[in-house]
Chain A
């Protein structure tokens, strides 16, 4: 790994997992904020951005493809790709902005890739085509096997510099992969990059597994397993592969998530005629009950600041959404629409709660404000459920099952309801959870 000082004597920044980043300045540097377009505007007028292949090894074209795919799939950018390749792509050259203006590009990405094996250097520059100025330049140094992460990190830089918000491309999805006939369904935990690459299975299907979630900072997952016919919450350390049952509970434990500080797991414990929401330290220890209603209390989710919890309860007669303080205590109902409400998740922006709504006509994915107002339905189907937010709160992923269990797919959608897309997976898929940004 390259630990050297950058061109202007700046120390490289470590982005975790052995990626170093160094700024590259240019003579004509655009001030931050000059070309920012809001996300709202970009939804109606996607930013045309030229992303020709980076110069250098085969990685140059691959990296450009991944960036182009990331930005295009967001629906907020219109990539102009290799077909419009004009002029040299050497990161040191000043581009011929007239040519790029002629094809309608507002922004341009250039760069080059050098080296290979354990020492690859990726330079990229983001240009503002109209004034002809560089917006950002960075050189990343890492092993060649990390090239996809470099591409996603660059996608996030482009998103952030042009839209003024952090991106969500350097992230992963953990989900349940299912296969086999419906009477003998095999379910395995699986993890992949958010663009469906690098998919791998974490469990072998010997035991039913459900509802995985990411730790906010560590390389760890919490989930539910039917190991030895005892349905319980487990943690999975992604580095070591070690799976550890959480605590020693007599009854079924399920619906686990991590608190925002990563030190606590919140989940349901089956008790009496229903289930209680409890918290327990991530390393184990004595559980603390937050609800004791005698009803089914489940699917808890912390607010991003950790001060409140939204959850699903039938204490009022049927499944609805309630909010209580993080210490438990009295809860107020927030869902009052037509139907039953489930699977609440709080946006990382704090402004919305996404949910599954169940009614006579089928299921729906929607959002509402934390006070219960402003309910909007985003997608309706026979069976859609289980929304998860990307780290910037702009995109939801959920799963959709065909009637009779005939296949299930992951689906993503912008929270305004546009750009609904199937997320490719190698098998049927359900129960997705979106990781935080990796860097």
Chain B
């Protein structure tokens, strides 16, 4: 199963009661579900390891870039994982849902990427290991035009470089 599918399904399971137009609480973190054991064969310190065992993305409320407690929990795990694999560098990509204009959403995506990066740095990860980028509304993870898809797309996604 590819990492996109894992993230999507896991987040879907958690989003049920939280999906909300302006809800600041929609910071539902994706995760590997309850299990901390790796999906068979994921190389430690790899992208697959990050997605399967740590969680590669955090979510935001509409027009927001503040981190919810769920988001911080995911980023805490990412920070610990990054401490364990000091050679790993990452990209933090910020995204938005489609209900905004192109240019403003580029800036909003950057805010989200920065928020995730700044939190990781505050947890002790060196900033030089983190490259940020914004895709605005150009790279939606979830198709569809419903609240579930929108909530999926308001995110900051960590990926191994």
Also in contact, A182 and B143, with CB within 8 A (given A252-B110, A405-B98): yes
Q: Does B76 contact A (CB under 8 A)?
A: no
Chain A stretch 252-283: residues in CB contact (< 8 A) with chain B: 252, 254-255, 268, 270, 273-275
The docked-state distance in angstroms from the alpha carbon of A208 to that of B95 is: 15
Q: Does A403 contact B (CB under 8 A)?
A: yes
Chain B stretch 94-114: residues in CB contact (< 8 A) with chain A: 98-104, 106-108, 110-111, 114
Question: Which one, B34-42, B47-55, B133-141, is touching chain A?
Answer: B133-141
Q: Is the pair B138, A185 in contact by a Cβ cutoff of 8 Å?
A: yes
Q: Does A414 contact B (CB under 8 A)?
A: no
> How many residue pairs at the A-B interface have CB separations less than 8 Å?
87
A143 to chain B, nearest CB (A): 39
Q: Is the pair B98, A383 in contact by a Cβ cutoff of 8 Å?
A: yes
User: What count of chain B residues pass the 8 Å CB interface test?
Assistant: 25
Q: Does B16 contact A (CB under 8 A)?
A: no
Q: Is the pair A208, B138 in contact by a Cβ cutoff of 8 Å?
A: yes
Residues of A within 8 A of B149 (CB): 404
Q: Is the pair A403, B145 in contact by a Cβ cutoff of 8 Å?
A: yes
Q: Does B63 contact A (CB under 8 A)?
A: yes
Q: Is the pair A296, B111 in contact by a Cβ cutoff of 8 Å?
A: yes
A80 to chain B, nearest CB (A): 42
Q: Is the pair A386, B110 in contact by a Cβ cutoff of 8 Å?
A: no
Q: Is the pair B111, A298 in contact by a Cβ cutoff of 8 Å?
A: no
Residue picked from B99, B107, B143, most chain A C-beta under 10 Å: B107
Q: Does A431 contact B (CB under 8 A)?
A: yes
Residues of A within 8 A of B91 (CB): 229
Closest chain A residue to B118, Cβ basis: A273
Contact among B99, B108, B135, B145 with A296 in the assembled complex (CB-CB below 8 Å): B108
Residues of B within 8 A of A254 (CB): 103, 106-107
A87 to chain B, nearest CB (A): 53
Q: Does A343 contact B (CB under 8 A)?
A: yes
The docked-state distance in angstroms from the alpha carbon of A320 to that of B22 is: 18
Residue picked from B106, B114, B149, most chain A C-beta under 10 Å: B106
Residues of B within 8 A of A252 (CB): 106, 110, 133-134
Smallest CB-CB A-B distances: 9 pairs: A403-B145, A342-B101, A296-B107, A255-B103, A404-B145, A275-B107, A270-B110, A298-B103, A299-B103
B residues with a Cβ closer than 8 A to A are 63, 65, 91, 98-104, 106-108, 110-111, 114, 133-135, 138, 140, 143-145, 149
